[in-house]
Amino acid sequence: MDKFAAITFDDKELKFVSISSKGATFQVDRVEKTDLAAGLVSDFEICDQKAFVSALRRFLFDATPKIEVGALVLGVPANKSFLKVVTLKDEIGDVSEAIVHKAVSNFPLTEENGYFSWQKKDGEIQIAACQKNLIDNWLYIFKSAALKVLAIKPAPLALVNLLDPLAKVNLIVLANQDGYQLVIGKKGLVYQVESGQFSEEFVKSTELLAEKINTLAADFVKSNPALGVEKIFISTPDNTKLTKVLAKNNLTVENLPLPMGLTKEQEDYIIPAALAITESGDTKEGGINFPPQEQPMVVPAESQESQPSSSFPLKGVIAALALIIIIAVLAFRFFGWGLPFFGKGQKEETGPTITIESPTQEATQSAAATESAKATQSAVVAKKEDFTIEILNGSGVQGVAAKTQTALRGKGWKVEKIGNADREDYATTQLRFKKSFEPLKNDLISDLKGSYQVEVGDNLADTEEFDVEIILGLK
């Protein structure tokens, strides 16, 4: 019997489900959740790594009885993953290149800062993407907690996989008191995702949610008349009230089926449970999984010849081999060791002579000058990657630190930590840094100016952990 576990988390809590499967039969073994301390997670990005690992280990290993984790699946939330269904022309030769081009042109990610994965289903190609730094951050944290991550999947895929595999396209509504997630798709295939937050409690936001559902369904049907939307499946704090409001349209509204073994009181475990069920069914089929290793995409068997190398790039291997050969040839020539084609006792006229200019001779003659030049240059030319940055949220607006971190990393800055400031009422954004950062001050201010009004404060002491401190204000 196979055992699978799934975890999802947000800024407030961790949720866990373990499931056993034997063939097509599933059994929910355990459901658990725990609150997270404030500041551990911000907008799904883990801020305090050590504290989060400690919380995770306490949650899983100190529970009574102890939680048996096994193979673990993580879910990427809707607002952190991108999904799109595309069709490609039959005459396209390099399928992987065409898909990457489609992904980069449709998502706010590039091959450098995003992970891409894709699958073919029913003649269509579904592309998924997520920020590299988010996936790498999660993998590092869970590995630090001595946990093995089997796969990282977009959470919307878990929802559509709860439905009948023979069903047509449906709209799924998952909501709680804080926000909502709308997913249009069918078994294994997501066409459209929309998520958002409520400004008031759910009971007062029902009309607004119904309006968003109707608009999303109508726009999708208009754009995809051949597909349409057959049913609306809902899982909310008040399904009855939402059903009455949605009764005005011609679509059938049903409650979203809960995974086997879960009660109505455990409804908030629906995504982790669905992730575990999904993974047990599609691990061998591939599906949309973000790779634990650094590779842009997972290519099906028919396109393996174009799959990029994941761990050891070919160019790097060739360069390393070339360097070894050069060193060996230089050693043989310098020490006079003989080879059948090169060495002592061989006359030049008996065959072609291989001449290699030694790069070490010039370096030896000017070693002192070179080191001096490097030292002088490092004192004058400052590089972004040489300085560490800490971003603190002092605006009171949730998630802005993580967004700013992503934006600055995309511009080459080394943002190592985000968190909350000492207070939440900063009117403007404050910038402090060590004296050594002075040459790059204007560059950072320029990169922040599009979103913030920056005020420069006193210099940081050289003993501070980070070279730069940014406290985000309301503007």
Of residues 296 and 214, more confidence is placed in 214
pLDDT in tens, 315-324: 455 666 667 7
Tokens of 406: 């992503």
Residues 444/364, Cβ–Cβ less than 8 Å = no
Query: pLDDT-based confidence at 174, cuts 50/70/90?
Result: very high
Asked whether the CA dihedral 337, 340, 346, 347 is positive or negative, the reply is negative
Residues 157/10, Cβ–Cβ less than 8 Å = no
pLDDT in tens, 228-270: 888 999 999 889 989 988 877 677 899 998 888 888 788 888 8
Backbone dihedral angles phi then psi of residue 61, each to the nearest 5 degrees: -100, -20
Query: pLDDT-based confidence at 172, cuts 50/70/90?
Result: very high
| Domain range annotation of the chain | 2-306, 312-344, 384-472
384-472 shares the fold of 2-306: no
Model pLDDT, residue 391: 92
Three-state secondary-structure class, residue 15 = strand
CATH number of the domain at 384-472, out of 3.40.50.1370, 3.30.70.2390, 3.30.365.10, 1.20.140.10?
Answer: 3.30.70.2390
pLDDT in tens, 343-394: 333 333 333 332 323 334 443 344 444 444 444 444 456 788 889 999 999 8
Q: Per mean pLDDT, which range of 59-63, 284-288, 378-382 is the poorest? A: 378-382
- pLDDT at position 97 over 80: no
Range picked from 19-33, 44-58, 85-99 for highest mean pLDDT: 44-58
Per the confidence metrics, is the pTM higher than 0.85? no
Average pLDDT value for the chain: 77
Beta carbons within 8 Å of 404's beta carbon, 6+ residues apart: 391, 418, 448, 451, 470, 472
Of residues 325 and 143, more confidence is placed in 143
Cα–Cα distances in angstroms (integers) from residue 279 to residues 154, 173, 282, 381, in the given order = 12, 22, 5, 50
Per CATH, which fold does 2-306 belong to?
Nucleotidyltransferase; domain 5 (3.30.420)
